[in-house]
Structure 1
Amino acid sequence: MADDHRRVTLERLETGVYRATNPAGAQLTFGSLDDTGFSPVELLLAAIGGCSAVDVDQVTGRRAEPERFEVVVEADKIRDEVGNILRDITMTYRVTFPEGEGGDKARDLLPRAARTSHERTCTVSRTVEAGTPITVHVDDDEPPAE
């Protein structure tokens, strides 16, 4: 089993708006009060779709370049006595390939590639479905009393 640690750091820019930075220095601004950007829930849906899209595109793209490649990820946000959660997450591929042998091979492979991504290779959707626990720590910036 390979140890491939991942990390993202969030910084508060203003109330409800944050900047995520990865180790490569890429940044993404988002938040619950960022009217022009993504909400955290939308980022989760994008991560689910993006992870699977990368898998599927790599496999089918070897056979033919898609003319259209779109993935729509939707969910219902539920608020109940237990708390907030997403239910009924669906991912729909809308992909077309050109006519010809390569396009035919890619079209035939698409359902299996999508299923394999969902069941085996997409870390994001597999983690969501597994219900992986999250451990929360709060670090105190104040130095210890002497």
Structure 2
Amino acid sequence: MHATVNWRDGLVFEAKSGSGHAVTMDGNKTEAASPMELVLMAAGGCSSVDVVSILEKARQQVTGVQCEVKGERADTVPAVFTHVHLHFIVTGTDVAEKHVERAVALSADKYCSVAKMLEASVKVTHSYVIENEGENA
């Protein structure tokens, strides 16, 4: 796996993955997400892939998964993350709590490479809520 990062101007960079996908990063957060924001997004994306995959294999009627990721950073330089919390909002019909709890736990404990990597130096926590579709209709 590899990537290339090219400076555009100011503190704006374009990163390109070995698979050919590009993303813009901005140290000032005016044109794009900052690299640290991308770390949070990567953790949420990686864990969300796991949760959706596990729930689909469990034949749960999931229609939506949202992962809200919050990161706390150190007050000193380098301003590394000290705590990252991933909160999953799972929407669907008759989604069993035991399956969501299991999916989130498996992602946290076994599958999410990004969160596991962060876990070496960052406190990573998880939570979830299930919203049954049609309850508010």
Both proteins in one fold, TM over 0.5: yes
| Cα distance between partner residues in 2 of 1:59 and 1:116 | 9
Q: Which amino acid aligns with 1:72?
A: E
Q: Which amino acid aligns with 1:67?
A: T
Q: Which amino acid aligns with 2:51?
A: V
Q: CA deviation at 1:33?
A: 2.3
**After TM superposition, which residue ranges in structure 1, 4 or more long, deviate above 6 angstroms?**
none
How many pairs does the alignment contain? Answer: 120
Are the aligned partners of 2:55 and 2:100 in contact in 1 as well (CA < 8 Å)?
yes
- Percent identity of paired positions between Structure 1 and Structure 2: 25
**TM-score (structure 1 length as normaliser):** 0.75
CA RMSD of aligned residues (A): 1.6
Q: Which amino acid aligns with 2:28?
A: L
Larger relative contact order (CA 8 Å, sep ≥ 6): 2
Are the aligned partners of 2:12 and 2:31 in contact in 1 as well (CA < 8 Å)?
no
Q: Which amino acid aligns with 1:21?
A: K
Greater Rg over alpha carbons, structure: 1
Q: Give the counterpart of 1:50 among 45, 54, 58.
A: 45
Give unmatched runs, 5+ long, in structure 2: 122-137
2:74 match:
78
2:100 match:
110
Give unmatched runs, 5+ long, in structure 1: 1-5, 132-146
2:62 match:
66
Q: Give the counterpart of 2:109 among 114, 119, 144.
A: 119
